[in-house]
Amino acid sequence: MADNTPKHGTFCWNELMTRDTKAAGEFYSELLGWKAVDSGMPGMDYQMFKVGETSAGGLMAMPPDMPKEVPPHWMAYITVDDIDAAVAKVGRLGGQVLFGPQAVPTLGRFATIQDPTGGVVSLIQFTS
């Protein structure tokens, strides 16, 4: 059987954080034919954009404590083999850890970082 686990250094996921998940879900459904369905993730309202049976991305509400100046946005995720080692390297390379690492139930751990040029991305280590 093929190993479909994303490899270290590869983009593996995209999700939209917005203050209006209903409007966003409707927009992308009409624009791209995606269907927003409940992910069943324990403890949070997280939807999956689907194209048929294939996951195309995630959709979630911005946390209430997120500063108002942070606009709704798409977040890209890059797979890493060791989230703790990657996060430790960020500062040494001139970047900044903005959030995490934090566990995602049944999935793994992630952190959001900013590179020295201001680019923001999330890193994720999947549970084995």
For the stretch 39-83, pLDDT in tens is 887 777 899 999 999 999 999 999 888 888 989 999 999 999 999
Residue 75, judged by CB atoms within 10 A of its CB (0-12, 13-18, 19+), counts as middle
The answer on 119 and 66 residing in a single domain is: no
Domain, as residue range, for 27? 12-73
The answer on 17 and 69 residing in a single domain is: yes
For the full predicted model, state whether its pTM sits above 0.75.
yes
The answer on 95 and 60 residing in a single domain is: no
What is the domain count for the chain? 2
The answer on 116 and 97 residing in a single domain is: yes
User: 83: closest CA among 54, 112, 120, 53?
Assistant: 112
The answer on 128 and 84 residing in a single domain is: yes
Q: Is the pLDDT of residue 2 over 70?
A: no
Position 39 scores a pLDDT of: 86
Q: Which amino acid is at 50?
A: K
Q: What is the mean pLDDT of residues 111-117?
A: 96
Position 3 scores a pLDDT of: 67
The answer on 47 and 25 residing in a single domain is: yes
Q: Which amino acid is at 91?
A: G
Could you give phi then psi for residue 84, rounded to 5 degrees? -65, -45
Question: Tens digit of pLDDT for each residue in 10-43?
Answer: 999 999 999 999 999 999 999 999 999 988 877 7
